[in-house]
Structure 1
Amino acid sequence: MTKTAETTDADLDNGRDDAAMSKEQWDVIVIGGGVAGLSAALILARARRRVLILDAQSPRNRYAAHMHGVLGRDGYSPLDLVADGAREVRAVGGVILQTTARAARSVSGGFEVTTTDGIVVSGRHLIFATGARDLLPDIPGLAEQWGRGVVACPYCDGYENRDRTIGVLAASIAGLHKAHMLRSYSADIVVFTALAGDVPASDRELLEARGMRIETTPVKETVIDGSTLTGLVLENGTSIPIDVVFVEPPLIAQDELLQQLGAALSDSPFGPWTSVDAAGRTSVPGVWAVGNAANPTALVPIAAGSGATAALALNAELIGADIAASSVR
């Protein structure tokens, strides 16, 4: 990646020369520095593109001490993974700025992004890796245990909780499927159904036929011993011993800037979500979305792959533009 005198790593990463940053015309601005955004930035920076990442440093899995199902990194810290990725991106000339993007608009030649601290940067293309956030039920203790005694993903945390007493806090009838997913990990599963409403008899009978217990009374609070979740207390005062709780929180897309730009939405099991093609292109030319910004079910390996896929396709477009510009001359 070619840098001008105004845009050295020392200036942008450490000294934060805001004026110099605003003068630069970046090939790609990546909004979000999690696994998907870093994966895209690494490939593009290695292709010697001028890449700027705007990163609020708040990845969705930051509360988890370990991640699982990631080949070669099973059990690794998700925060350590993004720290490793950031070092790799910087090593090949990518620039990472810790800030939050608050506005984006189309301008001549590309896009303009304004950050919460007042920096305005311009780029030919945008990659949104802004992800999503989980909205936990308003039950005392759940948020404090998030990522430890309270988790969401069977593929991420089921194996580590095998043969333990697993609670499933179902928020919908469709969410009862999570209990069936967890049945292969443990024979001791309690399904709490109050948030889901009235459970059809057929669904209830199927859970019971597979050896799962059902509690219909609403959950009042968690039971914490030191820093460890040990159970759930029902509104009738009954305490149910539980080793871990799998929840089904609504997933909220962090797509405000995509909507500012007019990106189209499509239906998903989690509600309207930004539409992308197989390479991550949105309906707005020059704007891409990767990771959970494009796919609400993307686990870490899928998010990383989506970033790489978008980067390859985007760089092909940049090459085409370079060729076209040479032909004009």
Structure 2
Amino acid sequence: MNSTHRDVDTDVVIVGGGPAGLSAALSLGRARRQVLVVDQARPRNRTALHMHGVLGHDGLPPLELLEKGRREIAAYGVRVVVGDAVSARADEEGVEVTTDAGTIRARHLIVATGLTDELPEIPGLREQWGTGAVVCPYCDGWEHRHHVIGVVATSAQSVGQAQLLRQWSDRVVYFPNVVGEPDAAEADALARRGIRVERGAVESLVTSNDRLEGIRLAQRTVPVDVVFTGPTLRPNDALLRSLGARAADGPAGSWIDADRDGRTSLPRVWAVGNVVDPRANVSVSLGLGSLTAGAVNAELVQEDITRAPAVGTSPLASGTAL
């Protein structure tokens, strides 16, 4: 499945081998396009034991999904190389991607490099990330229904996360930490739904044999079964920015601008998945990858038409009766 390369020419190079990138590769491979995937093999959800809410794959380990995907695309001649895309350039004629193994010249580039979760600097949090500490209620809420759920604030918006998690448990504990103190209306809303507020700076997560037991505050430890918190989301978009792709500022920061088909502001350069949409979970990324692949293939078809040599005048073009 994985291979190396020196200098190659292909129809499409895809940088990023997560759900979005592999989904695009599958559709393009089935369309008989030559495709090369460059992947660092460090998916965002690599620390999670299972993924949920993915129809047909509920409970499947996320790394197993990617392994199955790589086997499937290999059946259509798609190559995967493990490595890093160092730089790229693009113009009206094509794209060129330089990796740590060589240069890839392609007609189109799809960037599906995802994002990085920047975690709060709380001792023990990184070690628990993906198991005892998580972010998405829709991914992990069911598994912790009726449990004691601790919500560690990372901003004023964390109050909403606590209210959302009340859907799964009536034992939600909100930790304002030093950044998420609720205002009077929010405090009243938390109290009315039975969400306890534990004030004070969070010093660390308390574990025993790698299992989460509680949250340590200055003078006490509050027992919890799981921690939900909100990391800062940083798109892995250095390649797109080096190319000069247009970005737009929003509530979640600055993100590369891409339309519904994944087109960026640059010719022949596309972006899909978490690198341009922080809301794109596995299911959404799979669908968007397929959608972008269809748009890319449609442009390739138009290019094929333009490049095709003339073969003579057709009867209809000359006005000859059939």
Scaled by the length of structure 2, the TM-score of the pair is 0.93
Uncovered stretches (5+) of structure 1, i.e. residues with no partner: 1-8
Residues 1:88 and 2:72 are matched in the alignment = yes
Q: In the alignment, which residue of structure 1 is the partner of 2:124?
A: 141
Residues 1:240 and 2:209 are matched in the alignment = no
Paired AA for residue 239 in structure 2: L
Residues 242-268 of structure 1: CA deviation (Å, up to 9, x unaligned): 000001111001000100111111233
Q: In the alignment, which residue of structure 2 is the partner of 1:293?
A: 275
Distance of aligned partners of 1:263 and 1:278 in 2 relative to their CA distance in 1, 3 Å threshold:
same
Q: In the alignment, which residue of structure 1 is the partner of 2:95?
A: 111
After TM superposition, give the deviation of residue 327 of structure 1 in Å. 5.1
- Number of equivalences: 311
Larger of the two Rg values belongs to structure: 2
Aligned to 1:26, the other structure's residue is in SS state strand
Residues 1:208 and 2:191 are matched in the alignment = yes
Paired AA for residue 44 in structure 2: R
Q: 151, 155, 158: which one pairs with 1:175? A: 158
Give yes or no for contact 2:159–2:180 (8 Å, CA) kept in 1. no
Residues 274-310 of structure 1: CA deviation (Å, up to 9, x unaligned): 1111111111111111110121111100001110000
Q: In the alignment, which residue of structure 2 is the partner of 1:129?
A: 112
Q: 305, 318, 321: which one pairs with 2:287? A: 305
After TM superposition, give the deviation of residue 62 of structure 1 in Å. 0.6
Give yes or no for contact 2:20–2:289 (8 Å, CA) kept in 1. yes
CA distance in 2, matches of 1:175, 1:319: 47
Residues 1:165 and 2:148 are matched in the alignment = yes
User: Superposition RMSD on alpha carbons, in Å?
Assistant: 1.4
Q: 254, 260, 267: which one pairs with 1:278? A: 260
Uncovered stretches (5+) of structure 2, i.e. residues with no partner: 312-322
Residues 59-103 of structure 1: CA deviation (Å, up to 9, x unaligned): 101110100000010000000000000011111100100001111
Aligned to 1:25, the other structure's residue is in SS state strand
Give yes or no for contact 2:125–2:133 (8 Å, CA) kept in 1. yes
Aligned to 2:253, the other structure's residue is in SS state coil
Give yes or no for contact 2:91–2:268 (8 Å, CA) kept in 1. no
CA distance in 2, matches of 1:17, 1:104: 16
Aligned to 2:302, the other structure's residue is in SS state helix
After TM superposition, give the deviation of residue 134 of structure 1 in Å. 0.5
Q: 197, 208, 213: which one pairs with 1:230? A: 213
Paired AA for residue 40 in structure 1: A
Paired AA for residue 216 in structure 1: R
Aligned to 1:194, the other structure's residue is in SS state coil
After TM superposition, give the deviation of residue 199 of structure 1 in Å. 2.6
After TM superposition, give the deviation of residue 198 of structure 1 in Å. 3.8
Residues 1:25 and 2:9 are matched in the alignment = yes
Identity %: 46
After TM superposition, give the deviation of residue 108 of structure 1 in Å. 6.6
Residues 192-230 of structure 1: CA deviation (Å, up to 9, x unaligned): 112424431111111111100112201101110112101
Kindly indicate which of the two structures has a greater share of residues assigned to helix: 1
Q: 303, 311, 315: which one pairs with 2:297? A: 315
Aligned to 2:189, the other structure's residue is in SS state helix
Q: In the alignment, which residue of structure 2 is the partner of 1:255?
A: 237
Give yes or no for contact 2:134–2:228 (8 Å, CA) kept in 1. yes
